[in-house]
Amino acid sequence: MADEETRTPRRKRRTPEEASIDPAVREMLACADLMGLGTAFSRADALAPCNIGAVGMCCSLCAMGPCRLTKEGITGVCGATIDTIQARNFIRSVAAGSAAHSDHGRDLAFTLKAVANGEAEGYSIRDVAKLRTVAAEYGIAVKGRTPEEIANDLADLYIAQFGQQRGTVAPVVRAPKKRQNLWNELGVVPRGVDREVVEALHRTHMGDDQDHVHLLHHAVRTALADGWGGSMIATDVSDILFGTPAPVLGEANLGVLKDDMVNVVVHGHEPTLSQMLVAASQDPEIVAYAKAAGAGGVSLSGICCTANEILMRQGIPAAGNFLQQELAILTGAVEAMVVDVQCIMQALVVLAEGFHTKIITTSPKVKLKGATHIEFDEHRALTIAKDILKAAIDNYPNRGETRIPAYKNSLIPGFSHEYINYMLGGSYRASFRPLNDAIMAGRIRGVAAIVGCTNPRIQHDSSHAAITEALLKQDVLVVETGCSAIASAKLGFLLGDAGLDRVGPGLREVCETVGIPPVLHMGSCVDNTRILTVLTQMVAEGGLGDDIDQVPAVGLAPEWMSEKALSIATYCVASGAYVMMGGHNPVEGRGDTVPDSVLVSDYMRGGWEEAYGGKLEFLDDPQEMIRRALAHIDAKREALGLPKYDPTLFGRSGDARLGEIEEETRGASLEERQAALYGQVAAR
């Protein structure tokens, strides 16, 4: 049910402590209060969400309305029922989310084509091995051909997926065979990415599809065009052009901004320009230009998924997640915030007017009134990147007082599925076997993917933190992407041994043995497709069933706010996952209209589970999400015939036991200490 607290008008502004658990955010919100400046937090307090629209009881698809269905049994002017309206609203959101991710993928495919033809200044093919592997999966000839020839064919294939009218989007062949057969049987395999999005809009135009089950069926097809289409293409091409991520040391939180440097914050989602800004910021010409302006150089950092893209590959620090974009400006230390697409608040420009920060838009698709527009073009990328950095440097002398919070945390991101595979098995026997074995033995109880946004209606980072902490203690391995991963980074869960005193005994043993953090940062939100790939490879490895829905795993987006999150949730459900979203349920009207209005929610829970083995639920209580996640994992373990999870069986090996031996044998002879140690090793 919806959270009462989120929809009733707030009588008072939340204190910074109530608004966020992050000390840097609290400090900046206190500054905003002192300066009399608003942020998304204070606007959320002042503006109660519409309690009709929030639960999907409003239809504004034609000019006979908007129709608000607040009484039991009433319909819209055209006769539309509440379940039709809710299903239409939902699929429209899925279509928008799928379009956003996929258009990002399309742009990357065009960049790959330009690189293959030598037309993209400053770019090259960084991961030839991945290019060859991916191309071979689609039957593109790789033997005896140059990387550019292969990349040209792969780019053509990928570009064609968007406008394709018939057939099957190519990346679907990478799903487990059984899942592909199921999708074929149910008729939800996407034909072409754009086609499914357009059909979603057509079906929801006034007077078209009115059966909520039929509408939700197409929501699945539209979302699959994202997860096993546009997003997967975006991840592949980013890896091929910019390198497949591997662990690297990074930092996160506003404390990464530097007092003596020109701070340029990149914000948005596309890696293309930000990768070039990284290169340009190290260019001797730019360094000299910054020094001439009195700064030590240019310091780049990121917000949202652009941050994740350059953090994963180059270790460029993340200044914060979604709700920290305005707070970065409040520090007074940002010369330029360079934005591309998605998750960019319009409030940035007005806020920046009170500071010296320049907001620079770069995408032909996104302009903000009052911002400086320097349009990005991959054919002249390095030149444009240098122009942007020079504009930021020119702004450095205008800097006034700064107030950079002293909070930042180290992290190790970069866990691509390729790296996880290598890490578990080594160079010559890369394999998911150790992970599957650990789950089968019960050392790892299951896997949770915790993803998605932060939302000012929910105490910032609090649900991400509560769920991550609780599941780790229960020996659940956590993988994360997007703003959730940045939340965990700030909490210290992404740093090698740093979190190991906070995880269950079995998981701790695995982390110590393999040398991984208990939370694996897998990238940006388009990189949720890496999670699909990991699940597919776990299935292929054997012992955890023959399809994704049998793996003891769950997906959670506890603080989501974006339509992209609904598309991700839907393609994960269709891939077999149990997905829980935080906050209120956008398709569960309440009050007078309960009898009809729960049809859509019920179908997402029961109907989708029957069809796909996965289901979607909206829950406002993180504790309930934890309880259901563990119950689901245990039920999947039982269905596979795996031993019941028992934490008392583990935790006697690894670094913890070595520490105990050290303690127990303090003062003993070397031989006695060796005997104790070897005895421990033999007992493993």
Binding-site ranges for ligand NFS (CB under 6 A)? 269, 304-305, 321-322, 343, 452-453, 482-483, 524-525, 562, 564
Distance CA 246, CA 186 (A): 38
User: Minimal distance in Å, beta carbon 479 to ligand NFS?
Assistant: 14
CB of 307 to ligand NFS, least distance (A): 8
Q: How far apart are CA 499 and CA 508, in angstroms?
A: 9
CB of 269 to ligand NFS, least distance (A): 6
CB-facing half-sphere around the CA of 670: CA atoms within 13 A: 0
Residue 299, beta-bridge partner list: 263
- Whether residue 505 has a cis bond before it, omega within 30° of 0: no
Contact 188, 573 (CB under 8 A): no
In whole angstroms, the minimum distance from the beta carbon of 562 to ligand NFS comes to 4
CB-nearer residue toward ligand NFS: 192 or 452: 452
Q: How far apart are CA 541 and CA 437, in angstroms?
A: 10
Give the nearest distance from C-beta 638 to ligand NFS in angstroms.
Answer: 33
Closer residue to ligand NFS, CB minimum distance, 62 or 366: 366
Nearer to ligand NFS, 456 or 506 (CB): 456
Cβ-based nearer residue to ligand NFS, 453 or 577: 453
> Closest CB to ligand NFS among 147 and 523?
523
Report in angstroms how near the CB of residue 131 gets to ligand NFS at its nearest.
Answer: 25
What would the two tokens of residue 414 be?
Answer: 């970069």
What is the smallest separation between the CB atom of 428 and ligand NFS, expressed in angstroms?
36
Residue pair 486/252 in contact by the 8 Å Cβ criterion: yes
Instruction: Kindly tell me which of 267 and 443 has the beta carbon lying closer to ligand NFS.
Output: 267
Q: Are 87 and 600 in contact (CB under 8 A)?
A: yes
| Identity of the residue, 168 or 481, whose beta carbon is nearer to ligand NFS in the bound complex | 481
* CB of 239 vs ligand NFS, minimal distance in Å: 17
Closest to ligand NFS by CB, 250 vs 504, is 250
- Closest to ligand NFS by CB, 559 vs 596, is 559
Contact between residue 618 and residue 625 where contact means Cβ atoms under 8 Å apart: no
Nearer to ligand NFS by Cβ, of 337 and 510: the residue is 337
**Least distance between ligand NFS and beta carbon 585 (Å):** 18
Instruction: For CA atoms 381, 387, 392, 393, give the dihedral sign.
Output: positive
Count of H-run helices and E-run strands, the chain: 29, 16
Please count the other Cβ atoms lying within 10 Å of the Cβ belonging to residue 509: 25
Query: Which C-beta is closer to ligand NFS: that of 290 or that of 453?
Result: 453
CB of 135 to ligand NFS, least distance (A): 27
Count of CA atoms in the C-beta half-sphere (13 A) of 392: 34
Helices (H), 117-230: 128-137, 147-163, 177-186, 193-203, 212-225
Minimum distance from CB of 101 to ligand NFS (Å)?
8
Inter-residue contact 416 to 522 (CB < 8 Å): yes
For ligand NFS, the closer of residues 482 and 622 by Cβ is: 482
Q: Transcribe 287-354 into DSSP letters.
A: HHHHHHTTSS-EEEEEEHHHHHHHHHHH-PPEEE-GGGHHHHHHTT-EEEEEE-SSS--THHHHHHHT
CA distance 17 to 231: 36
3-state helix, strand, coil split of the chain in percent (to 5) is 55, 10, 35
Please report the beta strands in 446-504, taking only residues with DSSP state E, as ranges in sequence order. Answer: 446-450, 476-480
Interatomic CA distance for residues 414 and 420, integer angstroms = 9
The full DSSP string for 68-98 is E--STT---TT---HHHHHHHHHHHHHHHHH
Q: Which is nearer to ligand NFS, 80 or 327 (CB)?
A: 327
CA distance 482 to 242: 18
Q: Which is nearer to ligand NFS, 100 or 626 (CB)?
A: 100
At closest approach, how far in Å is the CB of 581 from ligand NFS? Answer: 12
Give the pairing type, strands 262-268 and 519-521: unpaired
Sort 491 into a burial class: Cβ within 10 Å, 0-12 / 13-18 / 19+.
buried
Q: Which two tokens stand for residue 397?
A: 């002398």
* Least Cβ distance, residue 566 to ligand NFS (angstroms): 10
- What minimum distance in Å lies between the beta carbon of 18 and ligand NFS? 21
